[in-house]
Amino acid sequence: MSRIATDFLVTPNMNKPEAWTYPIDHDAIAVMAKRAGRESDEGTERLTDTIGGRTVALCLNGGSIKGLEERIEDFAQFDLCWMGMNRFSQIEKRILGKIDNSFDIIFCMSEQDIPKRIPDLKEFVSRDAKHLLMTTLCAFTWLDAVDREWLIDFHGEQLYLMPRLLCRPAYPISLEVIVDELIKAKVEKLILFGADGYLHPAMEGKTEEEIIRWSQQEMLATYYDPEFFKNERRATGVGVGTVRFNKNFTYQPDKIEIVNCSPGSYYGHIPVTNYDGLWSALAVGGLACT
């Protein structure tokens, strides 16, 4: 593996609390880039085509997503572009399945997450040629060669390959990256479900380094728990992401209107609405908050 001293992912290694970074396999990325014909999308046509001018409904993995499970029938009448991320399959089966719907787009750029999601991701791209997977070739290096080559060779047109952001002390979290990509694709409206964020009371006032160290151990115990809907909130590594989001994100309603239908969310900056208010707004073609 060829690398230079500073060229590492900033994702912490959960299994090695003393380790902060993973090296990047540039050789594998170069091979895949040649195989795919590109390392990153030059434009956003693929994303724009999949969304088709619709309002995007992004389902994150916070415990409040259970509220959508209870109210999903209310939204069956609206032509929304449903978007999931990482551990999306349970949400799709338990919630969107109630209205005979499914995700149009899945976002998974976590090097740690993508190997655990590969069976669901392969099923996702196989069932509909219009489905889009947003990821990075850097994340692909964490897959078995047979899986990444299968995705590139047989479902390359369904891959929206983003450049991985490297070696930045406060790198954007997934939600920030998604918003940026949707702005590029000229999406006008975005709804967030399950966008709780998280910060354990014991971590209030702590530094990012302290929060990461604490989160690593909590994440091992909870993040991959198959009983996804068991707890109202999960003590996971998303805590440091919430800190970074609230510190760095700038809401630009002139570029994309966003509402967060996640009661008690720890995320700042974005207007919060409730299910009744959201339904009423969608009924008249808007996203106005109550």
Q: For the segment 194-217, what is each residue's pLDDT rounded down to a tens digit?
A: 998 877 777 778 777 777 667 666
pLDDT at 15: 54
Other beta carbons less than 10 A from residue 162's beta carbon = 21
Helices (H) and strands (E) in the chain, counts: 11, 9
pLDDT reading at 6 higher than 60: no
Pairing, β 56-59 against β 22-23? unpaired
Using 50, 70 and 90 to split pLDDT, how confident is the model at 138? Answer: confident
Q: What is the mean pLDDT of residues 98-106?
A: 96
pTM score of the predicted model: 0.85
| Higher-scoring residue by pLDDT: 267, 173 | 267
pLDDT reading at 5 higher than 80: no
Distances (CA, A) of 209 to 9, 31, 178, 198, 248: 15, 34, 24, 16, 17
Q: Which of 259, 264, 265 is nearest to 278 (CA)?
A: 259
Q: What does the alpha-carbon distance between residue 249 and residue 173 come to, in Å, rounded to a whole number?
A: 10
Distances (CA, A) of 5 to 13, 30, 134, 167: 17, 19, 28, 11
Return the domain boundaries, the chain.
Answer: 21-196+255-276
Give residue-wise pLDDT tens across range 148-167.
Answer: 999 999 999 999 988 765 54
| Higher-scoring residue by pLDDT: 150, 37 | 150
Q: Of 23-32, 60-69, 121-130, 243-252, which gets the smallest average pLDDT?
A: 23-32
